[in-house]
Amino acid sequence: MAEPVTLFGGGPGQSEALRRLEAVLFASAGPLTEEALAARLPEEDNLSHRLRQLQTIYANRGINLVEVADGWAFRTAGDLAYLMTAERVAERRLSRAAMETLAIIAYHQPVTRAEIEEVRGVAVGKGTLDILLETGWVRLRGRRRLPGRPVTFGTTAAFLDAFSLAAITDLPGLDDLKGAGLLEGTPPAGFSVPIPRDDDALDADEDPLDADDGDDAPAL
């Protein structure tokens, strides 16, 4: 590591000259050419030498004095550049539409976009499915053996994690939903809440995904 550097060792004049130079360079919004520095520090008679001196003083420090294309400037030492980056986790909540779509996927999987729309009664925006795929909670499972071979969606292990479910079958059934007041009234004949499953085995009418069904650009 760096040798101990004795700073501002010379006479008072030298100290003052270095103080002035470092203050001006520090406060400047951009690099300063030697001409600009000379204009700011008219008493300085040996600017080039002084700049080299200051550069040596700062050589092993957290900030270095560097000569860039348009002059001199202080910059963070190259090996400390990593300090100038920060990782941040931004927590987001799903929109109402996305949450409804996710719930339908969870209960009705494997399910196609058209089937989701049938349950919701409204169209599902492409953005909603993109966001759900981005959460990592929803995945493409396969393709339904139907005209157009639509993609089927299902949930992932990360989904179970995020919603504190031990298994997808822990999702409450019709009676539980009614008991919790989440569904009210008398279900009509034929109304059912499916028992969900999220395993990898494909349904009888599901084909595997095609080789080119990349995660990046799924043909929804």
Partner 1 sequence: MSEDPPHLRLVDDFEDPPRTPLEDDDMLHVDVAGFEGPLDLLLALARRNQVDLMKIQILPLAEQYLAFIKRAKDLRIELAADFLVMAAWLAFLKSRLLAPDENDGGADGEELAEDLAFRLRRLEAMREAADALFARPRLGLHLFARGAPEVPIIHEEKSYKGSLYELLSAYGTVRQVELARDTKMEKRPVFSLVDARRVMERIVGGHAEWLPLEALIAAMPSHESRRAVIASTFGAALEMAREGKISVRQSAPFAPLYLRSNGMDGAETNKDG
CA distances in angstroms from 40 to 21, 23, 37, 43, 58, listed in the order given: 9, 11, 5, 9, 21
The yes or no reply on residue 37 touching its own copies (CB under 8 A) is no
* 15, 56, 95, 169: residue in contact with its own copies (rule CB under 8 A): 15
The yes or no reply on residue 5 touching its own copies (CB under 8 A) is yes
Instruction: Determine the Cα–Cα distance for residues 85 and 122; give it in Å rounded to an integer.
Output: 43
- Complex with its own copies: residue 20 or 120, whichever CB lies closer: 20
The terminus-to-terminus CA distance of the chain in angstroms comes to 57
Please report how close the Cβ of residue 169 comes to its own copies at its closest, in angstroms.
29
Answer yes or no: are the C-beta atoms of 172 and 180 closer than 8 Å. Answer: yes
The tokens of 64 are what?
């270095």
Instruction: Determine the Cα–Cα distance for residues 14 and 12; give it in Å rounded to an integer.
Output: 5
Please report how close the Cβ of residue 89 comes to partner 1 at its closest, in angstroms.
4
- Complex with partner 1: residue 10 or 63, whichever CB lies closer: 63
Answer yes or no: are the C-beta atoms of 19 and 6 closer than 8 Å. Answer: no
- Complex with partner 1: residue 12 or 78, whichever CB lies closer: 78
Dihedrals φ, ψ of 64, to 5°?
A: -120, 155
The yes or no reply on residue 133 touching its own copies (CB under 8 A) is no
Please report how close the Cβ of residue 148 comes to partner 1 at its closest, in angstroms.
9
Tell which positions 55-94 bind its own copies, by CB under 8 A.
Answer: 60-63, 74, 76-77, 80, 83-87
Residues that bind its own copies (CB under 8 A): 1-2, 4-9, 12, 15-16, 18-24, 26-29, 40-41, 60-63, 74, 76-77, 80, 83-87
